[in-house]
Amino acid sequence: MTTSLADPAELRRIFSACPSGVVAICAEVGGERTGMAVSTFVPVSLQPALVGVFIQNESRTWPKLERGNRLGLSVLGSDNEVAARSLAKKDGDRFGPIVTTVADSGAVYVDGATAWLEGALWSKTQAGDHFMVLLEVHSATVHDAANPLIFHSSSFHTLPR
C-alpha cells in the first residue's frame, strides 16, 4: 500500500518503524542547565571523531545549547526513560527528576547512561525542516552496566545487551 508523503502524521508513523537510540544533549550555558532528547543520533567519522544529530528548525532549546562551549551527549540507558521524557518536554523544568554530572567544561551528563561523549559544534547544515548538526567528539566514557533505551513506534523499549 502506497502512502501519501503529503500527510506528515502518516510519514511520522512510517519513520517511527525504524528503531533508534535516545541521546540527551545537555550543557550548562550561562550558569543554567539546558538540554534536550534526540532520537536521530549517528556516528559519522573516526578521523576526526564526529557524530551527527538532527534538530528541528523550530527548536527553542538548540539556540541555547549552540552557545555552550562543550556539549554533553548521554546515550540513554534502560534506567533513563524518565530523563528521556523529561528532556523531550516543550516547557517547564526538564531537569527536575534527572540526576546529572556537570563537567568543568560545562558539558552536562545524565547519570545512568550507557555512554557519555563530550563534543563541540563542527558544522550545521539545513536539511528540510531540521538542521543536520555535526559534533566533534573530544572525550568519551562507556558505562557497560546499562542496557540501551530504544525509541520505536513512538514509545520507549529496552534492548538487552
Does 12 fall in a domain? no
Does 4 fall in a domain? no
Q: Return the minimum-mean-pLDDT range out of 17-26, 62-71, 117-126.
A: 17-26
CATH number at residue 44: 2.30.110.10
Q: What pLDDT sits at residue 8?
A: 77
Query: How far, in Å, CA of 24 to CA of 140, rounded?
Result: 14
Does 93 fall in a domain? yes
Does 14 fall in a domain? no
Does 3 fall in a domain? no
Domain that holds residue 97: 21-158
Tell me: the pLDDT tens digits for 26-49?
A: 999 999 999 999 988 999 999 999
Dig out the grid coordinates for 10 from the structure: 502518516
Does 2 fall in a domain? no
Tell me: the pLDDT tens digits for 9-19?
A: 777 777 766 77
Q: How confident is the model at residue 161 (pLDDT cuts 50, 70, 90)?
A: low
Does 40 fall in a domain? yes
What are the C-alpha distances in Å from 11 to residues 18, 57, 108, 131? 12, 18, 33, 18
Residues 6+ apart with CB under 8 A from 2: none
How many domains is the chain built from? Answer: 1
Does 8 fall in a domain? no
Q: What pLDDT sits at residue 21?
A: 85
